[in-house]
Amino acid sequence: MSTILLIEQLLNGLQSGLMLFLMAAGLTLVFGVMGLINLAHGSLYMVGAFACAGVAAATGSFWLGLAASIAAAAAAGAIVEVAVIRRLYARDHLDQVLATFALILIFSEGTRWLYGSFPLYLNVPPSLSGSVTLPGGIQYSLFRLAIIGAGLAVAVGLFLLIGKTRIGVQVRAGEADREMIAALGVDIRRLYTLVFALGAALAGMAGALVGTIQSVQVGMGEPVLILAFVVIVIGGIGSIKGALVGALLVGLTDTMGRVLLPSLFDLFMETSAATSVGAALASMAIYILMALVLVVRPGGLFGARA
Amino acid sequence: MTGTKTGIHRETRMTKYLTTTALALSMLGGAAMAEPVKVGMITTLSGGGASLGIDTRDGFMLAVEEAGNPDLEVHIEDDQRKPEVAVQLSDEMIQSEDVDVLTGIVWSNLAMAVVPGAVRQGKFYLSTNAAPSQLAGKGCHENYFSVSYQNDNLHEAAGQYATDEGFGRMFIMAPNYPAGQDSLSGFKRFYEGEVANEVYTQLGQTDYAAEIAQIRDSGADALFFFLPGGMGISFMKQWAEAGIDMPVVGPAFSFSQDILPAIGEAAVGVKNTAQWSKDIDNEANAQFVEAFQAKYDRLPSLYAAQGYDTARLLLSAMDKADISDADAFREALRAAEFDSVRGDFAFGPNQHPVQDIYVREVISEEGQLTNKIVATAMEDRGDAYAEECSM
């Protein structure tokens, strides 16, 4: 394998990791701050993609679509938090899982009712289409580079928000001691809605960006949700830093596993068998990674509570 | 399970409505002589793969409505693309609704879960799509008919086409599951050139950046891939973005009418193999394409054509034999005396089609993406497993 190909694959891993981070950040915040398992996070991702495809088709502008996806997912998140999730904070995790699973079904069938069962069209905007030549002669998709840029920008923004602002202080305090910050006069209900909507907006943005290069269809959120759970388990629940490191680890392991494992087996096996075994093992790679991390650090890499 | 339940309720309501209509019509017709035929259709109407099941159902029901045969009752249920749900539905249809014929399953793994049990209990199964090799060879059965193809067929035709085109080195790729492995072995059965690399992707994978980089690096003459449904949409969009100048060949599943609009311009020019296309020149097909568009306001896909042909085959058998005489009914099915939208159509010894398989090209026509036949890849192709079937 040439160095150029290797670097290209590392970029691919970085890109898929950063998109996972957008999903995982919201999930880990909601879990960390409110102690809530939200299975419907994947539905918010789908809402973002559909809103983007719908608005882009109606107006012809991808950027309006992207703005709409963030707004629609944040709104959907806020509505769901006020109408349903708020009643679940005091319940145990099983109730939360059941209720948010019901939300997945409602979102899926609702989307099907609005948009029909056929996948939607959403494509890369002309200004970002095609590929660019990076230093070293690497041909790389401009849109994927933009995704990497957007992912990094959001990561920096989140760290500043959590680390440097008043809301960030409240969020961190809420994570550490819920009763205490309520006693100090912070409107905890408003804070929860805000955090939930923020997580939803990030998921919606990821849905729109990923939907652009993949397919916009009902049920697109659930496979990503599983990966996002793997990410927050690896990173440590509640930690934004953990979500970022976990997402990059998962993205890189998945991409490099898919590329390297079949060629590795090819060294001592017949090609057909090697690709088949290599592919099978590659699909397990991130779960093996998760298991290894849990053996060494049961609370995840940056887990606050072990 | 609220969402799913409503889905099923809707279908049940539809079933009831159809049943009542059929009953009312049969009373109008006075004393109907033939015994009614009850059909149980199990197909995917919700979740990720719903567009395939919906087209299958709509094609099938179009033929049923056109025929207006009062002796035909159709019960439609949603399998949610889950094998356990499909098995439960087929048990229910066989045991409590006492259907005579089952049909409609889209996915091979669901077919494998349902078909062997159903045919053993003396029910007919007419496949509108899935036709795994296991049911074509040693596992063939006198009550099992595949009206679509044998799973390997379209991949074999792609291999033949690649050979005919003189592609010397091909990069081949499919998801890592039984139908994906069958796909690559079907392709290699008729491809005489060299395989530059074969890659198995994960089932349900949506990001293909890593594979596309490998393809670019491989220096192959052309690419063959089999990625049904959403996987194909994702791949083609990313492929177009990468701007690699390499011919692409594949089976029709990733370029079927139901998903072409979602891929967009990226699909234009791709060659894909199919046993049906909307421009096959015969009267039955012209009538079907027009009626389908008039009724559903969209172009029919391969799945709709397969559903339509399946219903027409069943109706043709009903004209000739009574369902209570299973042997006569089976013979009537085997004869396949109906005007297929594919033109020539016959069953081989294992009750799988013997038919022409075409190469189509994706074109943009009146602002819509669709397929046009550019060559015939294989004539009167049966399948590789017929010899193993002792029937």
Q: Are residues B204 and B317 in the same domain?
A: no
> Do residues B317 and B240 both lie within one domain?
no
Q: What is the pLDDT of residues B270-290, one digit of tens each?
A: 999 999 999 999 999 999 999
Whether B257 and B337 map to the same domain: the answer is no
Q: What is the pLDDT of residue B3?
A: 41
Q: What does the pLDDT look like over A54-74, one tens digit per residue?
A: 999 999 999 999 999 999 999
Same domain, B78 and B100: yes
Q: The domain containing residue B172 runs over which residues?
A: 153-278+356-388
pTM value? 0.80
Most confident of A73-77, A175-179, B206-210: A73-77
Q: Which residues pair with B368 in a beta bridge?
A: B365
Average pLDDT, chain A: 89
Asked whether B178 and A282 are in contact (CB, 8 A), the reply is no
B162 — pLDDT class (breaks 50, 70, 90): very high
Q: Which domain holds residue A218?
A: 9-123+138-296
Query: Are both B205 and B332 inside the same structural domain?
Result: no
Largest alpha-carbon pair distance within chain A? 68
Residue for token digits 């004539």?
B379
Q: Residues A291-302: what's their mean pLDDT?
A: 91
pLDDT of A1 reads 62
Instruction: Please write the tens of the pLDDT for every residue from A247-280.
Output: 999 999 999 998 888 888 888 888 778 888 888 8
The tens digit of pLDDT for each residue in B238-252 reads 898 888 889 999 999
> At B40, which CATH number?
3.40.50.2300
Q: At what angle do helices A166-176 and A188-213 cross, to 10 degrees?
A: 100
| Strand-pair category, A138-141 with A131-134 | antiparallel
Cβ–Cβ contacts within 10 Å for residue A296, how many? 7
Same structural domain, B37 and B74: yes
Residue by residue, DSSP assigns A190-240 as HHHHHHHHHHHHHHHHHHHHHHHHS-B-TT-HHHHHHHHHHHHHHH-TT-H
Tell me the three state secondary structure of residue B370. strand
When mean pLDDT is compared across A132-136, A191-195, B104-108, B310-314, the lowest value belongs to: A132-136
For residues B27 and B96, which has the higher predicted lDDT (pLDDT)? B96
A203-241 pLDDT, tens per residue?
999 999 999 988 888 888 888 999 999 999 999 988 889
Same domain, B254 and B374: yes
Counted across chains A and B, CB pairs separated by less than 8 A come out at 145
Say if the Cβ atoms of B237 and A217 lie within 8 Å. Answer: no
Instruction: Judge contact between A126 and B264, C-beta under 8 A.
Output: no
Q: Which residues of A touch B4 (CB under 8 A)?
A: 105, 109
Q: Are residues B370 and B334 in the same domain?
A: no
Residue A34 lies in a domain: yes
Cα separation values, A46 from A208, A219, B28, B86, B119, Å: 8, 7, 49, 26, 40
Single out the residue of B372, B381, B388, B385 nearest to residue B153, CA to CA: B381
| Cα–Cα distance for residue pair B267/A245, rounded to 1 Å | 37
Region B127-147 average pLDDT: 94
Name which of B120, B14, B24, B117 is nearest B74 in CA terms.
Answer: B14
* B8 CA: distance to closest CA in chain A (Å): 12
At residue B14, the pLDDT reads 53
A69 is a domain residue? yes
| pLDDT at B85 > cutoff 70 | yes
pLDDT at B42: 97
The pLDDT assigned to B263 comes to 87
Domain tally, chain A = 1
Chain-centroid distance, C-alpha B123: 21
pLDDT (0 to 100) of residue B92 = 95
Structural domain count, chain B: 2
Q: What does R_g of chain A's alpha carbons equal in angstroms? A: 20
**Residues B117 and B200 reside in one and the same domain:** no
Nearest to A106 among B3, B199, B266 (CB): B3
Please say whether the beta carbons of B132 and B178 come within 8 A. Answer: yes
User: Per-residue pLDDT for B12 more than 60?
Assistant: no
Instruction: Please check whether residue A303 lies inside any domain of the structure.
Output: no
Mind telling me how many Å the CA of A120 is from chain B's nearest CA?
Answer: 5
Do the Cβ atoms of B262 and A130 come within 8 Å? no
Report helix, strand or coil for B196: strand
Query: A262 and B199 in contact by Cβ < 8 A?
Result: yes
pLDDT in tens, B317-366: 999 999 999 999 999 999 999 999 999 999 999 999 999 999 999 999 88
Decide if A23 is inside a domain.
Answer: yes
Domain assignment of residue A301, yes or no: no
B324 has a chain A CB within 8 A of its CB: no
Is residue B242 located within the same domain as residue B300? no
Mutation site for B-interface testing, chosen from A62, A98, A107, A117 by largest number of B Cβ within 10 Å: A117
Q: What is the pLDDT averaged over residues B18-23?
A: 53
If pLDDT is split at 50, 70 and 90, which confidence band does B18 have?
Answer: low
CB contact under 8 A, A275 and B199: yes
Give pLDDT, residue A43. Answer: 95
B363 and B340 belong to one structural domain: no
pLDDT at B7: 46
pLDDT range class, residue B30, cuts 50, 70, 90: very low
Label residue A242 by pLDDT band (50, 70, 90): very high
Give me the torsion for CA of A164, A169, A172, A178, rounded to 10°: -170
Q: Is the ipTM of this complex over 0.95?
A: no
% residues pLDDT > 70 (chain B): 91
Q: Does residue B113 share a domain with residue B69?
A: yes
Q: A219 CA to chain B: closest CA distance, Å?
A: 6
Cβ–Cβ < 8 Å for B150, B124: no
Residue A114 belongs to domain with CATH number: 1.10.3470
Query: What is the phi/psi pair of residue A120, to 5°?
Result: -95, 160
Return the structure tokens found at B326: 């299973």
Summarize pLDDT for B192-233 with one digit per residue, the tens.
999 999 999 988 888 898 899 899 989 899 999 999 877 888
